[in-house]
Structure 1
Amino acid sequence: MVNRSSNGGRSSGQLNFHQLYIFQTVASHLSFSRAAEAMEITQPAVSIQVQELEKFLGVTLFHRRPRGLRITEAGEAVLAYSLQIFALSSQLMETVQEMEDLQSGRLVLGASSTPGEYVLPMIVGRFRQIYPGIRVELAIGNTRTIVQRILDREMDLGMVGDHVEEHSSELEIVDFQDDEIVLVAAPSHLAAGLVRPSAELMVELGLIAREEGSATRSAAERQFRELGIVPMVAFELGSNQAVKQAAIAGGGIGIISRLGITAEVAADMLVVLDVVGWDCRRPLTLIQPKDRYLSPSQRAFREFLMAERPPFSGSPPTH
């Protein structure tokens, strides 16, 4: 609760969270009557509580007009804080409930395409064998999207295919696993019959790659530039599966993680090309806000994840 002294027309005392919740409900409906129906109380009671809150804060929260309510600038500011307060309240209740032997809980995870499709699903599956009561939501997008959603606090933990050093002041970044980016083609493709073809020829034959913002694409483009070649993508697609299908169809040279082609190589649907000078590796990294409080279920999953971490052959493990 917040202590207030009287000044500028504001009342002293403590902020009434019941009044604040009623205000938030009215703001979401922009109607006293609809808010009253939603809360199953009378409209006069809603109006009185909002008026009392306005009196306490010393501001007008709504413009009252014949055609309805419109929230004021001060009301917008109060609403922003109110949403944060009640979100924290919900987190508090969830945390207390989770403390009972992790019988329940919720994890919201984010991953870029490669770890989201080929790494995290198996780890989450094993985790849920131990904690079946914990609900897990895994959202998959490209690295740029996942990083932004982690920064916006929409997710508890993320795994991406890059170091994202530009966000090192805001994020804790831990290397989890080494990943190799390879060039692939259908067995019937011209490139499959060549002995140690050049990277320049791969570009000429047509590169099939993920969209801008994909860490897989970025890593491959860096490798081409290191070899003195300007990478030109002939066929841009929005998922790893689409890249594989296009390469299998003979549409060009696919750029993809070795993690994602085990079945296709075993089935002779794709071959990995031994390209001169090609050695493209990148880390899959765990990211989370540095100052984020972890609930019991979130801590349990992070500990489980680190115990599952394979030997890493890349750079030092922490940043």
Structure 2
Amino acid sequence: MNLNHLAIFQAVAASGSVSAGARDLHISQSAVSKQLGEFEKTLGLVLFDRLPRGVRLTEAGTLLLVYANRLFAIEAEAESALGDLQSLARGRIAIGASRTIGAYLLPPILAAFRRLHPDVELSLKVDNTKAIEAQLLAGEIDIGFAEGTVSSEFLDYRVFAQDELVVIASATHPVRAHAPLALSALTQNPLLMHEVGSGTREITEQALAAKKIQVRPAMTLASTEAIKQTVATGIGLGILSALAIRTEVEAGILAVLPVKGLRMLRPLYRMQLKNAWISPSLRAFLDLLEKPAI
């Protein structure tokens, strides 16, 4: 079905005459008559009874008008929705983040974006770095945030912040008396670590390997909160992002232990599929990230 023909049919039906329909469409009356004739011939049905003054819908025309009105209403709705998307009156951003970034760095950024664009829906999935990369590659999220090293040629990685990993212990742990610690203290005390696949663990193992230190975790825990709570019991040491332990250090629950000759800095990456389309909502989110205060 020719949509141009359908639009001409609808205009004539709405105005009640060929001449009025032509005037509303800003085309000649003869062009409208010709197009209507072609449309009726294509359909094999008469849509209008031609009267001395104006036209009247036939049964076929009455039926078709219902669908024409519905179709063009949907078209108008689609145009309005796309306009809303462009103006950020609607939209959706699916975000994936590693645990440290998702729990301790992104929340104030998400809150700031929400205040600026309350009609854009935000969703956040928190997982380890490998899982976030996999979700991006599968098209399940629009943007990812993680620590760790670059591993996929299909993703674009950009540093958006810096972080430091620190050794922590319970505020009452006896090892605090020996701070700053020797590197050997990391092998002499039980060490609690994230699971394999975690960016925090990957950076930790790389930094210790560079110092020729190999450690076997006494306990592997799947969340930062679990590591903090367990370390707070005094059972061993942990290595976590400085971002993650601010509250506990200020409350006197955990303590940061300097280690001689060891400083573990890491970049934090934002990740996107290479050459992927950036929606207006995502562009606004990226603009917010790039502001100096973020």
TM-score (norm 2): 0.70
Q: Deviations over 1:219-256 (max 9, x none)?
A: 11111111111021111101111111011111200110
Q: 1:132 to 1:194 in 2, by over 3 A?
A: same
- CA-to-aligned-CA distance 1:136-191 (integer Å, 9 cap, x gap): 00000000100111111110001100231x31x31111101110000000122121
Q: Are 1:220 and 2:199 an aligned pair? A: no
What is the correspondence of 1:96-115 to structure 2 with a 5 Å cutoff? 96-115=82-101
Residue 123 of structure 2 corresponds to which residue in structure 1? 137
1:225-240 aligned at under 5 Å gives the runs 225-240=209-224
**Partners in 2 of 1:107 and 1:257 — Cα distance?**
26
The aligned counterpart of 2:279 is 295
Are 2:186 and 2:215, in contact at CA under 8 Å, matched by a contact in 1? no
Q: What's the CA shift string for 1:257-278, capped at 9, x where partnerless?
A: 0001111111111110011111
**1:99 counterpart SS class:** helix
| 1:12-63 deviations in Å (ceiling 9; x for gaps) | xxxxxxxxxxxxxxxxxxxxxxxxxxxxxxxxxxxxxxxxxxxxxxxxxxxx
SS in 2 for 1:292: coil
User: Contact conserved, 1:185 with 1:271, CA < 8 A, in 2?
Assistant: yes
3-state SS of paired residue (2:262):
coil
Deviations 1:63-84 (A, max 9, x none): xxxxxxxxxxxxxxxxxxxxxx
- Report the AA paired with residue 163 of structure 2: D
Could you tell me which residue of structure 2 aligns to residue 194 of structure 1? 178
Q: How far apart in 1 are the matches of 2:185 and 2:199?
A: 23
Aligned-partner SS, 1:238 = coil
Q: Point out where structure 1 has 5 or more consecutive residues left out of the alignment.
A: 1-91, 311-319
In the comparison of the two structures, how many residue pairs are matched?
Answer: 217
Amino acid at match of 2:107: P
Corresponding residue for 2:113? 127
Aligned: 1:267 with 2:251: yes
What is the alpha-carbon distance in structure 1 between the residues aligned to residue 186 and residue 105 of structure 2? Answer: 28
Aligned 8 A contact 1:123 1:308 in 2: no
Aligned counterparts of 1:293 and 1:148: Cα–Cα separation in 2: 18
Provide the rounded CA distance (Å) in 2 between the counterparts of 1:94 and 1:294. Answer: 20
CA contact (8 A) 1:188 1:250 kept: yes
Q: How many Å separate the matches in 1 of 2:80 and 2:129?
A: 29
Q: TM-score, normalised by structure 1?
A: 0.65
- The within-5 A match list for 1:27-176 is 96-164=82-150, 166-167=151-152, 169-176=153-160
Secondary structure of the equivalent of 1:297? helix
Task: After TM superposition, give the deviation of residue 99 of structure 1 in Å.
Answer: 3.1
Measured at CA, do residues 293 and 94 of structure 1 come closer, stay the same or move farther in structure 2, by a change above 3 Å? farther
**Is 1:254 matched up with 2:241?**
no
| Partners of 1:177 and 1:309 within 8 A in 2 | no
> How many angstroms apart in 2 are the aligned matches of 1:156 and 1:263?
31
Contact 1:94 1:105 in 2 (8 A): no
Q: Is the 8 A contact 1:95 1:296 kept in 2?
A: no
Q: C-alpha separation between the residues in 2 aligned to 1:163 and 1:94?
A: 42
In the TM superposition, residue 199 of structure 1 has moved relative to its aligned partner by 2.1
Shift of 1:133: 0.6
Distance 1:128 1:200, change over 3 A: same
Q: Gaps (5+ residues) in structure 2?
A: 1-77
| Mapped contact 2:86–2:280 kept (Cα < 8 A) | no
